[in-house]
Structure 1
Amino acid sequence: MALQAQPSADSKPLSPQSAHALLLSVPPRTWAFDAANNEIPVIDHPGQYLRYRMHVIDAKGDQLRDVIESKDGTVARLIERDGRALTEDEDKWEQQRLNDMIAAPDKYKRHVSGDVSGKKRAVELIKMLPDAMVFSYAPGQPQLPDFPGEQVVLDYKPNPGWHPPTTTSEALTGLAGRVWIDARTHHMVRMEGDIFQGVNLGWGMLAHIYPGGKLMLQQTPTQNDPNTRWIFSHFTEQLTVRALMLKTFRENSRVSSEGYTPVPAMPYQEAIKTLLATPLPKPATVALKQQ
């Protein structure tokens, strides 16, 4: 655990500059290691469930979803499209899609299998980061103005002595950037990454990631207390990838979340019924939000 700036009872309070200098008196990797360990429950959140709104802008358009985390996985209902309320036909289709999941548990399992696999890969990569990267303290320690707590700011770049153990982890060899860590809880607040060189996955037979891509992940405590559960609040991805040596595509997406409310543990069927029982936003509400 990284050193905390706590003066003894008989000592004078530290100045802000001295307190921050004390935070930086340990190896940067210590902060990275702590943040990586704290990131695992952010991904898995065992026994803690939330309801929130998720806004996604990608190749499929602009969509707002009402999301509930259930014991079986996440369920979501589309509630707005392109900044407007759903039409009657669009909402009927969405209700039918969700009711079909209740009627067919196997279909739901297939629906969430990608999320389960994605979380597993994310945890594996997070565990590798302290060794895969070389961390250093960012010059000047620039603080995020919209986060209330003090942050420790690290720059990172690939460790030339590290060898990726999996095909997925090969992507880390072309990534460099900056990470902000909450000095109090050792949670990652924000991470920025640049694809500074092309990366071949599976010797280029599976995919090639072109240089010039950018990633950003920002996280927040779900209540006004940094010791509560953390969750992503913003994520952006701009990548150009050639898959299977054939198709080249550009991934450009922005995802944000807000309005976090704790919910009890429930099976996915009950979560879907809760979503369907919630009235959709009224057109006037949507119009007001756009102003």
Structure 2
Amino acid sequence: MAAKWGVELTSDAVGESDDVSFHPLMPRAIGGHLSKRNWARVALLGFCACLTVSVAAAQSASESMLGMAGTPLAASPRSWAVDAAANELKDLHHSNSYLRYRMHVIDAKGDQVRDVIESKDGSVARLILKDGRPLTEDDDKAERQRLNDMIASPSSYFKHVKNEEEGRKLADQLIRLMPDAMIYTYTPGQPQTSRNGVGVEIVLDCKPNPKFSPPSTPAQALTGLEGRVWIDAKSRQVVRMEGTIFRAVNFGWGMLAHIYPDGHLLLEQAIAGGNRWIFTQFKEDLSVRALMVKTIHVHTNVDAGSFQTLAGPLGYQDAVRMLLDTPLPTK
């Protein structure tokens, strides 16, 4: 979703320039001169936003979802989405909450593990494992040089932070559309026992609302996705989402991007400390044709774990120094 869905898209500020991540991650801005891969990112963001709608349903500001009859099903399915969208907007910016964690990404670039720190300026990360092995001396030297260059060039770093903020604004816009963009229904047999056997979950199906008229190009992505979401009934946090691209979606009549049907998305998340929820697993299997030129097949598996809550905010340079001062794993 985090990238959120909770999953974080890693930009240059975090890792390498073309890393795919998802925290509503950090897509490029729409407009200007976008690369083919960045148009693909814009397209993917729309689908991610569709599933992120219910990610942060805790501490609802509106009426209790228990309803007058004392059962979660007394409330309409849409009311969950309305509350979820409102709370996801809060969680999107996670004010005054900073984490450190490991992010394991398997994609076309290989198998990489990064040490990630959320600073008050934006996220930064250090490559610590590659293809399941410790870094070579040359790999570590190159990574240290990249991070030291980041410290020495605030202007370059904040250029990428600007991209992150533009992506967050786009996610914000799409999430606000979600209660009306989708039709929500309870799946049969509600409520359900949670997957770990502790607590109760409410399960919703969502499909595009045929009466919804996308107000922008990115919002068109919301018309091609259907899915299912598992929500913890006590905390009202989403613990799992599954999405399927059931029909093709065109951006700019297909001239900007075309997302093929039969793509799949999966998100799982958990509480990382305090009231902060974040993704623990994200999978995507998608095919996108960008600018009518090249079809990009995106196969990504992202896992996050080893969460630590930071005592307070760090500037990005101090966060980078903390990464550099941490010994690398030896196996």
Scaled by the length of structure 2, the TM-score of the pair is 0.77
Determine helix, strand or coil for the equivalent of 1:24: helix
- Structure-2 residue corresponding to 1:252: 299
CA drift of 1:2 comes to 5.3
RMSD (Å) for aligned C-alpha atoms: 1.8
Correspondence for 2:252: 202
Larger Rg, first or second structure (1 or 2): 1
Name 1:27's counterpart in structure 2.
Answer: 76
Q: In the TM superposition, what whole-angstrom CA distance separates every residue of 1:17-59 from its partner, at most 9, and x where no partner exists?
A: x96xx11011100011112222223321011111111111111
Aligned amino acid, residue 249 of structure 1: I
Runs of 5+ consecutive residues of structure 1 not aligned to the other structure: 8-17, 287-291
Corresponding position of 1:139: 188
TM-superposed CA distance for 1:111, in Å, is: 3.0
1:123-162 alignment, distance < 5 Å: 123-141=172-190, 142-146=192-196, 148-162=198-212
C-alpha displacement of 1:144: 4.1
Q: In the alignment, which residue of structure 2 is the partner of 1:14?
A: none
What SS does the aligned partner of 1:222 have? strand
Instruction: Give the letter aligned to residue 276 of structure 1.
Output: L
Q: Distance in 2 between matches of 1:77 and 1:68?
A: 9
Q: Secondary structure at the match of 2:226?
A: strand
Residue equivalent to 1:168: 218
Indicate the SS of the match to 1:160: coil
- The farther-off stretch of 139-148 and 90-99 is 139-148
Q: Which residue of 1 aligns with 2:265?
A: 215
Deviations 1:225-274 (A, max 9, x none): xx611111111111100101111110110111111111120110000000
Map of 2:138 onto structure 1: 89
The letter for the 1-side match of 2:204 is L
- Tell me, in whole angstroms, the C-alpha distance in 2 between the residues paired with 1:81 and 1:40: 34
SS in 1 for 2:141: helix
Shift of 1:124: 1.9
| 1:34–1:186 CA contact under 8 A, matched in 2 | no
CA offset at residue 112 of structure 1? 3.1
When the two structures are aligned, how many residues end up with a matched partner?
268
Indicate the SS of the match to 2:302: strand
2:319 pairs with 1:271:
yes
Q: Distance in 1 between matches of 2:124 and 2:197?
A: 29
Equivalent in the alignment of 2:156: 107
- The structure 2 residue matched to 1:47, chosen from 93, 96, 114, is 96
Counterpart for residue 69 of structure 1: 118
Matched-pair contact (CA < 8 Å) for 2:225–2:243: yes
The one-letter amino acid of 1:100's match is D
Give the counterpart letter for 1:245 in structure 2.
M
Out of 232, 239, 256, which is 1:189 matched to? 239
Question: 1:233-244, aligned counterparts within 5 Å?
Answer: 233-244=280-291
Query: Does the 8 Å CA contact 1:158/1:176 hold for their aligned counterparts?
Result: yes
Q: Gaps (5+ residues) in structure 2? A: 1-61
**Inter-partner Cα distance in structure 1 for 2:259 and 2:67:** 45
